[in-house]
Chain A
Amino acid sequence: MDGRVEMLLGALREVAIWHHERNPLYRARCEHSAFDPSRHLEQPDDVERLPYVSVEVVRRFGLATHAAEMPWADVPTGTGRTLPTDAETEARTWAMLAALMEHEGLVSARAVHHVLFAPPPGTGPRPAGERFLSMLAEFAPPGAVTYGLRESRNGLSIDDAAVAEALRRSSISGEPVRLIGFPALVARIARALETWPVKLGPGSLVLTSGGWEGPWVPRSRVEFRALVERSLGVPAGRVLDIYRLGEHAASFVECPDHRFHAPVFSRVRAVDPVTLMPLSEGQPGVLALLGPGSTAMPVHALVTTDVGRMVECPCGRGAPAFEVLGRGGRGPHRGFVERVLELIDR
């Protein structure tokens, strides 16, 4: 057995057993599939037997594995829900991200101006998405930090003026900038600067993570990168997205050819949402993620509602490549579903 495969298998077995022993709902899920992680994860192919948990279930039922020996906390998601986490999950999340950033050459010893679409650290618990964006700012020393969001009486508001000023200042001084935020907010500032573009210094980087919905977001990622290049002077190869779910510890960083790759400590598949059968390369399905990152929730085999497909990538990396095509589920033609749900929510 390939050493890396053996390590992944061992890590998945360990985390599956952890949850099986401590989480009654997960244990019931395993029993429903006649799966016992202590006996059924011996060979590499056995990972295909791991019962998947859907992101829908995690969001609906919580599914926290509250271990007496592992202090845990609930992190707000910013959407009214909370996600459980613990020290081990945080450590693994960080370690996986750091390994990826190092591998992709995105760790810099040179100070940069961080422009971060997050509020300054405050007194309350930070939502999971904001925490992750702040983590991304750890991979280069901060020469300066500008926060693109601020707390106001009505909640968070976007500080367009501060961000625009920061970018202009940096474009004049030539210091590299790391602009970090949700794609919608990066697109917003890029659109605002389209008429009076700036040219950020060499070594500048745009890192996005989060949803691609919103009125400012161009129709495609290619258009998004072109917009950023026009407005901010950052070449497309330095405009990278990071795919992750708050429910799953692993992150996936775009390569310079703008595909995501499954690192050695993860497996990614595009599967049929009903049968969970893997689909052929190029065929759209929902993304199913395997990874041992979380001791707080049994999400080591997580099926998402994100539509994606496995693809070839010209970058030369050996790791399997995939594309994220967008959120799946209710489409506009399901008008009455939306209508009924809207009525229920009132």
Chain B
Amino acid sequence: MKPQESFAFGEPLVPGRLTADAATTLVRQGRDRAAALRGMPIEKILDALGRLRPLWGRGGAYRETYLRARTGDPRGAPMVELALDRFAAALVPALLKRRLAAQLGDPACLDGFVAAGGRATRAEPLGTVLHVVSGEVFVEPVELLVASLITKNASMMRCPTGQEAFLRLFQKSLEEVAPELAAATAVLSWPGNNAEAEAAVAGQVDGIVVAASAGAVAAYRRLASPAATLLELSPRASFAVVSRAGLTTLSHAALARDVALWDQLASTAAQVVYVQGIAEAVSTAGGLAAALEELEAELPSQPGTLNERIEIARLRDTARFGEAAGAAKLFASTAQALWTVVYEEDRRFLPSPLRRSVRVKAYDSPAELASLLAPVRAALQTAGLSVSGSERAEYVDVLSRAGVRRLCAIGRMNLPAIDELKDGLMELHRLVRWVEGVA
């Protein structure tokens, strides 16, 4: 982001290296803005966010500006449109209210004490919250900003590389419909070697949301003040499960979307598909490959970075030789697309190189599935299921105990509902401080 275009809490950001003093000032300004937001009724905040919807929906002025300004590969445009559709669709006051209710109970608790069962509770904003987001999916940083706003927090967003345009446009659109909300946001850039500013910000804010690498999570744990609340959204991996009985209702097209949406860069995307039975797994791999090829017409894959392409080549090369040795079967796009499906005899849970590459493996029983997932328990996120009605309870129980944080039907893995938890965490709950009073 060009410094002269940066705004922090309603004021233009002075260009130049962020100093510790400037960072301290910003944190203090953030607290003042949070104090102002605290006095704003939650319904008014939700209505203001709702006014963003026409600006970011199809044909909206800011959406069109962003689409013209984005510099990514043009083949990525349909996926970007899809992401913007979902983003805009979530900006409905009633849906935002539903999201608040799912995690905080009565959203009115953000405005004052709410009595229930002889007690009264109130949700106080933390104050100034720092967001450190890797931004693999470009709307994610803004979704976290929205979470911050609907809990009446001021937000400092450390701008992920490559996301400046979208964040700045979002800030500008917010200024247009609700300047008081825009004034509670600051989008900042500081390079990795500005340890002074990083420590000053991280050590003084009231909350830190880290949705980035495990290294970043560990770093901010060290930098955060003991009084700050930390919301850690570590990188995770997801997978799909298809039982023998579930094969009859499996939609390969839906499974392909579980792999391919957001180019597999969201933690919810399936990196592995476990299928009950070896022959069934090989057959599913073939069906999934055909579906991924068909999906290219609607949502073309992007070329990926050199490092990503190296990893995909690694997967394909080892699969080719595995095929020669009878231990694998490779299905790969022969055109420009990158999709890759590998059936592997090796049943261990292994991550894929992403960009629509997926490992298909066999399993025999839910118990075996549990033991295969045990080594990666701490990194699991979503399990998409295609199982029969009579099996469902067992699979849900086994996978819940195995460490999965979200269970859904195949086809929904990358499309969580607005009120679903994030990584199994009540992120809105973590962005407030509860006060208990007497009714």
Q: Are A32 and B324 in contact (CB under 8 A)?
A: yes
Chief secondary structure at chain B's binding surface: helix
Inter-chain contacts of B212 with A (CB < 8 A): 335
State how many angstroms separate the Cβ of A299 from the closest Cβ of chain B: 13
In the complex, number of A-B residue pairs with CB atoms less than 8 Å apart: 115
Within 8 A of B (CB), among A316-340: 328-340
Inter-chain contacts of B318 with A (CB < 8 A): 54, 56-57, 60-61
Inter-chain contacts of A337 with B (CB < 8 A): 235, 351, 353-354
| Beta-carbon nearest neighbor of B327 in chain A | A61
Select which of A286, A330, A333, A340 is within 8 A of B379 by beta carbon: A340
Q: Are A338 and B214 in contact (CB under 8 A)?
A: yes
Asked whether any CB of chain B lies closer than 8 Å to the CB of A68, the reply is: no
- A335–B376 Cα gap in the complex (Å)? 14
Given contacts A25-B321, A25-B325, A343-B376, whether A54 and B214 have CB atoms under 8 Å apart is no
State how many angstroms separate the Cβ of B410 from the closest Cβ of chain A: 21
State how many angstroms separate the Cβ of B417 from the closest Cβ of chain A: 23
**Chain B residues with a Cβ closer than 8 Å to the other chain, count:** 41
- A87–B163 Cα gap in the complex (Å)? 56
Asked whether any CB of chain A lies closer than 8 Å to the CB of B350, the reply is: yes
Asked whether any CB of chain A lies closer than 8 Å to the CB of B348, the reply is: yes
- A346–B376 Cα gap in the complex (Å)? 10
- A337–B349 Cα gap in the complex (Å)? 11
Inter-chain contacts of A344 with B (CB < 8 A): 348-350, 375-376
Select which of A57, A331, A336 is within 8 A of B236 by beta carbon: A336
State how many angstroms separate the Cβ of B108 from the closest Cβ of chain A: 38
Q: Are A333 and B313 in contact (CB under 8 A)?
A: no
- A107–B214 Cα gap in the complex (Å)? 49
- A343–B374 Cα gap in the complex (Å)? 10
Given contacts A273-B313, A330-B311, A333-B134, whether A340 and B349 have CB atoms under 8 Å apart is yes
**Chain A residues with a Cβ closer than 8 Å to the other chain, count:** 37
Given contacts A61-B321, A328-B307, A340-B379, whether A56 and B314 have CB atoms under 8 Å apart is yes
Q: Are A335 and B215 in contact (CB under 8 A)?
A: yes
- A333–B354 Cα gap in the complex (Å)? 12
Inter-chain contacts of B237 with A (CB < 8 A): 336, 340
Inter-chain contacts of B216 with A (CB < 8 A): 335
What are 16 contact pairs spanning A and B, CB under 8 A?
Answer: A28-B324, A29-B320, A29-B324, A57-B318, A61-B321, A273-B312, A274-B313, A303-B313, A305-B310, A329-B310, A333-B213, A335-B234, A336-B234, A337-B235, A338-B214, A344-B350
8 nearest A-B residue pairs (beta carbon): A336-B235, A335-B213, A28-B324, A273-B313, A54-B317, A335-B235, A328-B310, A331-B307
- What is the interface of chain A, defined by CB distance below 8 A to chain B? 25, 28-29, 32, 53-54, 56-57, 60-61, 272-274, 284-286, 303, 305, 307, 328-344, 346
